[in-house]
């Protein structure tokens, strides 16, 4: 009983248990290893949720944004606000003759 993975099923008959064991193949050790690695990898990725930038890294982000603003295009405007793609230079104009 100590090795029974499901205590609630202890009332089942031994014949039923034997039949279940007979039809369930043993898992491949490689599959188990792969699953364990996947679990560990996910645990790894889920632990650190807060990523803070400071100092030179934060300055680099701000500098990048400044460069982006100075090179802002219609594509940037559309990406930031799809409903206002006419904001910068997109309005068609007709020059006087």
Distances (CA, A) of 31 to 7, 20, 25, 28, 39: 26, 21, 13, 5, 12
Q: Please work out, in degrees rounded to the nearest 5, the angle formed at the alpha carbon of residue 65 by the alpha carbons of 59 and 70.
A: 125
d(CA 14, CA 4): 12
Stretch that binds another protein, among 6-14, 17-25, 28-36, 83-91 (CB under 8 A): 83-91
Please say whether the beta carbons of 74 and 90 come within 8 A: yes
- Smaller CB distance to another protein: residue 12 or 33? 33
Site mask, another protein, residues 38-77, x = CB under 8 A? --x--xxxxxxx-x-x-xxxxxxx-xxx-xx-xx-xxxx-
Can you give the length of the chain in residues? 97
Site mask, another protein, residues 12-41, x = CB under 8 A? ----------------------------x-
Where along the sequence are the contacts to another protein (CB under 8 A)?
40, 43-49, 51, 53, 55-61, 63-65, 67-68, 70-71, 73-76, 80, 85-86, 89-97
């Amino acid at each position: 009983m100590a090795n029974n993975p499901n205590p609630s099923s202890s009332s089942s008959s031994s014949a039923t248990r034997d039949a279940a064991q007979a039809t369930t193949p043993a898992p491949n050790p490689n599959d188990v290893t792969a699953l364990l690695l996947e679990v560990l990898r996910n645990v790894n990725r889920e632990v650190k949720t807060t990523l803070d930038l400071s100092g030179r890294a934060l300055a680099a982000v701000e500098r990048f944004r400044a460069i982006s603003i100075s090179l802002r295009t219609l594509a940037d405007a559309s990406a930031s606000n799809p409903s206002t793609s006419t904001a910068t230079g997109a309005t068609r104009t007709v020059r006087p003759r």
